[in-house]
Amino acid sequence: MMIRALLFATGLALLLAGCRASPGTLTIAMKDMHFRQGEVHVRAGQPVTLRVVNEDGYAHAFDIDAFAIHRPLAAHETAEITFTPEPAGQYTFYCGSPGHMAAGMTGVLIVEE
Ligand SMILES: [Cu+2]
């Protein structure tokens, strides 16, 4: 029993280490007029890829004005957006489809020093 628990813990540690090995990609999913990840943390000056997943059956968009990101997404489309966020600070991301931001499709990208 102890060995099983130990193996499980080791496997979990490896899994977590694996996740940490590729910190460059973050997923932000859109579903039912909101972002599943309302707050996303990235590192200033380090290239990051945002994997934006539209889980809805209608169009959305992913926008961050400060980084000139304006990406329309068709129904069920996934887009990968790579950029280097800087300087450190807090930036609003939102869906640029008419009325969606007002309906709650907004979140915060926190760029850490
Ligand atoms: Cu939208």
Q: What is the pLDDT of residue 5?
A: 56
Q: For the CA atoms of 95, 109, 34, 56, what is the dihedral angle to 10 degrees?
A: 70
- Ligand 1 mean position, distance from CA 61 (Å): 6
Nearest Cα neighbor of 28 from 100, 91, 81 is 81
Which CATH architecture describes the domain 23-112?
Sandwich (2.60)
What is the model's pLDDT at position 65?
98
**pTM for the complete prediction?**
0.79
34 C-alpha to ligand 1 centroid (Å)? 7
For the chain, domain boundaries: 23-112
Count of Cβ atoms closer than 10 Å to residue 52 Cβ: 24
pLDDT of residue 20: 45
Query: How far does residue 41's CA lie from ligand 1's centre (Å)?
Result: 21
